[in-house]
Structures are given as C-alpha cells and as structure tokens.
Amino acid sequence: MKNLDLSYDWLNQLLPNGFPYHSSTVVSGAGGTGKPLAAFALLADWLKAGGSVLLLPIQYQNMELVDKSMQEIYGMDLKSYSDQIIYIEFDPEQKHPMQTSKNKFSANLLKVDVWKDLFAKTSHIFKNNDLGTMVYASAINLLLFSPKYQSDLLNYLIDITANDKNKTYLFAVSTSALKSKIKQIENAADNLMFTRMEERKELFFSIKRMKNEVFNPNEVKVPISESQFKRIREIAKETKSGLIPKIKKIV
C-alpha cells in the first residue's frame, strides 16, 4: 500500500507517515459523536490530491450536510471537485440505480447487487489516477436494520472491507445499535478508528489499529468550534431522514 500525505496537524500527529490507500478504514463510535466530521478530513486530503470519491451519506436525504460541513470545517467548496465526486443518495424504494444528474445517482443500497451495479456504472466515469477511488459511506449500520437484506448485505460489507484492494474504503458506523454486527465490520477493516464527544461539544479522535502502518495511539482533539458544531447540527436536523421505520418494513 501507498500513503496519502495529510495536511491537518491533528491527523499528522496520529499518522506521521500518512494515510494508507487501497485499504479499508472504519471510523466507529456511539451515535452523535461526530464520526463523519472527523472522517471528512481524510476525504478532503483525498480530493486535494486528485483522488475520486463515491460519496454515500446514507443517513441524510440530500448532500447538503456534506457540502456545508466540508466548507465550514475544512474550507473546501465541493463544487470545485465535481469531476472527482459521485454522490449516491439512498432510496429504499428505488428498484434500480438511477442517474439523476451528471454526478448523482439514486439507489436502494439495501441490495448487494445494487452496490455491485453502482461500482460497475461509475468506474468508467472517473479519470485514472494513482489514488483511484475512495468509497466513503456514513451510517452504514442503518442498512442492517432490514430483516430481509441484513444477512447478505452484512456478508458483502465484510467481504469488500476485508478483501477488495482495488478501492479505498472509508466507513463511518454507529455502535449505538446492532453492536455485534458492527463489530464484524470493524474486525474486517485494515484500520480502525474511534470518535467520542464530550458534553461541551469537543470532538476527540483516536486510532485503535492500523495494518502495517505506524500510528500514534493517543487521542487528539479535532479542532471544530462549538459554533461550527451548532451550525452543522442545524443542517443535520433538517436533512436527516427517518429511515429505520422504512427499512424495517421492507419484506
């Protein structure tokens, strides 16, 4: 594996040699502990280095939170990277992946075949580069609430996390429910990281495990201000979708 140079001091403290790509990483923690906000730092450096991204923020109805968070915290206007990003909006009622605009698809991510179809459909869109494609997905634990698709999807997520080295996977998962299922994905990942948040809205980040890579196991504070948290949480409330009841009803 090769390493991506990192531009944020708090990340460099933890990964002095950079972030290994063509690897899989799980950022884990309880619900509401800012997992995507920390993971976006890796996403930002990936885009700045020219990498391509499949973006799957499963818990949100649209991409506004991602766009605003990247601008607010990391000073990045994702419109400037539109040729490097494909957004995937989760729609449990969509029968087949549908391209809704130049860089946006709507898809039912409960189905393993849909993941495979999306990878096939989007692979030709990106320009070839050394970094390749990062698959960033947040709240993938929500998908596992489906009684119909849970088993097949969990096995697939474990398989790509453990074995697919053609892409770089960055998954943010909540441990607040389905903890034993999430543990299996954590165990399959090359790299395992954690977030926690204190009551005064301070976000902390640490690394538990890296595969064949030097890392600092100490916890660091992610430099996000309380006012930034407040603005992002307001957007999150507006865009978050009540998916669990819908997913549970699918039989």
Overall domain count for the chain: 1
Kindly state the tokens that stand for 34.
Answer: 């800012």
Tokens of 28: 């884990």
Domain that holds residue 98: 2-249
Predicted pLDDT at 32: 86
Residue 241, pLDDT score? 61
pLDDT at 48: 96
89's CB contacts (< 8 A; 6+ apart) are: 61, 62, 63, 100, 104, 105, 106, 107
Would you say 169 and 161 are in contact if contact means Cβ atoms under 8 Å apart? yes
Residues 216, 14: contact at Cβ < 8 Å?
Answer: yes
CA proximity to 166, closest of 109, 119, 213:
119
φ, ψ of residue 168 to 5 degrees: the values are -110, 125
Please report, for the domain that includes residue 51, its CATH number: 3.40.50.300
**C-beta separation of 24 from 189 below 8 A:** yes
C-alpha to C-alpha distance for 209 and 91, rounded to whole angstroms: 33
Amino acid letter, 201: K
With beta carbons less than 8 A apart as the criterion, state whether 146 and 110 touch: yes
Residue 249: per-residue pLDDT: 75
Q: Choose among 106, 47, 119: nearest CA to 76.
A: 47
pLDDT digits (tens), the chain, 251 positions: 799 999 999 999 999 999 999 999 999 999 888 899 999 999 999 999 999 999 999 987 778 888 988 999 999 999 999 999 999 999 988 888 899 998 999 999 999 999 999 999 888 887 777 899 999 999 899 999 999 999 999 999 999 999 999 999 999 999 988 999 999 999 999 999 999 998 778 999 999 999 999 999 999 999 998 888 888 888 777 656 677 777 877 75
Segment (H or E) for 228? helix 226-239
**d(Cα 48, Cα 60) in Å, to the nearest integer?**
24
